[in-house]
Amino acid sequence: MVDTTQIRAARKFGPGYFIREEMELREWTQGDLADVMGITPKHLNTILREKQPLTIEIARLLGEVFNTSAQYWINIDTAYRLWKEEGKTEKEVAADIKGMIFERMPINDMIKKGWLLPYEQLDELKEQVMEFWGMKSLDFSHLDTNLLPCLTRKSEAYNQYNASYALTWYRKARLVAETKRPRHYNPQKLKALYENLHSFTVSDGGINKFLNELNDAGVIFFVLPHLSKTYLDGAAFFSGSNPVIVYTGRYKRIDNFWFTVAHEIAHIIKHINDKTPFILDNFSNKERSRIEDEANELAARMLKHLEITAFLEPYLSYLTTSRVEECADKYEIHPSVIIGKLAHDGKISYANQPLYNENVLELISNDFKVV
């Protein structure tokens, strides 16, 4: 009698095999298909190599391009992955699980920051990861379905891999926000405070005064360091009925703090809604979008950028600190904001940025920092 428990199902081919067949029928290159699907060639290459399960979004795109249903591609992918799991040793399964977790989350950095505890057994890690995400089982598909599209719609700079680390940071920010007990949100008070933001930049202890006023307006603010490979500067979202602003302190300059806060308030006032539930900002990314341009313009208005440029333009060939301070006094704006603005516009060297700047994290009260 044959022991049927030892018989493995016939080899299944993954979606990459069938996508290549469709490409050959049409005589398309990978570049052609990536262009048609609206994704990067690098992203398409990972799909063809079947490195991870297809997302619903990608299955829908494949269905549109090849005139099939999205379910057709999901079924192929599911059957392939079930086949792959058969016959694996316990060690191989454990390696797969650990690899999946580390691909999605910067575990070592999270342990270093105290967001997760050190572990010895894989089950200990799995339990912490599921608790972190509020999962009943280890399944990251909800990130691909619910969160990833919110990032990729906003910016092509995010792909399925570096976005996962950013979403991990965002999850931590949401968990922190849920521990706060804010006052009732007053949009009118926030707008009035925003219009007067520049004066806080030159006020004695102005940073903490402004943050306390934000709190009085019902806006949650805290500092949460960015995770490795995320390069985030700030974020804006709502926790319940209260807006949340998070600052990472990636650049520890006073001018960066004020611009980030002004930028995120602009997002709260103009952009956060059901279609855009959160925005994660990386100011090193040069990619432009309508909402980022709008937030930049509004932040620039609150920080007197036009006035700064008009006042100092005649003196840029031989700019002195006394002229900068004269401008700062005239428009009630911190000199570091002036230097930062001029350096950003290429009017002066970035080497001048340390002028008038201190480590802003040392100026922010510990009440606003995540320990």
Q: Which of 23, 22, 76 is nearest to 50 (CA)?
A: 76
d(CA 362, CA 164): 30
Q: Which residues contact 285 (CB under 8 A, 6 or more apart)?
A: 155, 157, 231
**Model confidence at 8: pLDDT above 50:** no
Q: CA–CA separation, 258 vs 199, rounded Å?
A: 11
- Kindly state the average pLDDT of the residues 101-112: 93
Reply yes or no on whether the pLDDT at 1 is more than 60.
no
What is the model's pLDDT at position 150?
A: 56
Asked if pLDDT for residue 248 goes beyond 80, the answer is: yes
The whole-angstrom separation of Cα 220 and Cα 272 is: 15
pLDDT at residue number 210: 98
Please give the domain boundaries of the chain with CATH numbers for all domains: 4-85 (1.10.260.40), 90-139 (no CATH), 182-304+361-368 (no CATH), 306-357 (no CATH)
Give the separation between CA 84 and CA 29, rounded to whole angstroms: 28
Q: What angle do CA 31, 79, 105 make, to 5 degrees?
A: 65
- Averaged pLDDT, 199-213: 96
**Tens digits of residue pLDDT in 279-289:** 998 877 666 78
Stated pTM of the model? 0.75
Alpha-carbon torsion angle 264, 270, 274, 279, nearest 10:
-20
Give CA–CA dist 362/288, Å, rounded.
32
Q: Does 6 score more than 60 pLDDT? A: no
Q: What is the pLDDT of residues 121-172, one digit of tens each?
A: 999 999 999 999 999 988 887 777 666 655 544 554 444 447 889 999 999 9
Read off φ and ψ for residue 22, nearest 5 degrees: -65, -35
CA atoms of 205 and 8, how far apart (whole Å): 70
Residue 3 has pLDDT above 70, yes or no: no
pLDDT at 52: 76
Reduced to 3 states, what is the DSSP secondary structure of residue 319?
coil
Separation of alpha carbons 77 and 38, rounded Å = 21
**Closest by alpha carbon to 358, among 254, 233, 259, 261?**
254
Distance CA(247)–CA(369), nearest Å, equals: 9
Q: For residues 197 and 194, what is the distance between their CA atoms, to the nearest angstrom? A: 5
**Angstrom distance (rounded) from CA 117 to CA 200:** 39
Checking if the pLDDT of 182 tops 50, the result is yes
Sequence-distant contacts of 22-31: CB under 8 A, at least 24 apart: 22/66
Sign of the CA dihedral 199, 200, 201, 203?
A: positive
Q: Which long-range contacts (CB under 8 A, 24 or more apart) does 64-67 make?
A: 65/33, 65/36, 65/37, 66/22
Cite the beta strand spans of the chain per DSSP E.
220-223, 234-239, 242-247, 278-281
Average pLDDT over residues 292-297: 93
Average confidence score pLDDT of the chain: 88
Quick one: CA dihedral 220, 224, 229, 234, positive or negative?
positive
In 146-205, alpha helices (H): 148-154, 162-178, 187-195, 197-202
Range of lowest pLDDT (119-123, 147-151, 220-224, 311-315): 147-151
State mean pLDDT over 169-178: 96
Q: SS3 helix, strand, coil % of the chain, rounded to 5?
A: 60, 5, 35
Quote the percentage of the chain above a pLDDT of 70. 89
Q: Quick check: 331 and 298 in contact, CB under 8 A? A: no
pLDDT grade for 300, boundaries at 50, 70 and 90: very high
Contact 106/165 with Cβ under 8 angstroms? yes
Spatial distance between the Cα atoms of 19 and 170, rounded to a whole number of angstroms: 34
Q: In the predicted model, what is the mean pLDDT of residues 12-18?
A: 84
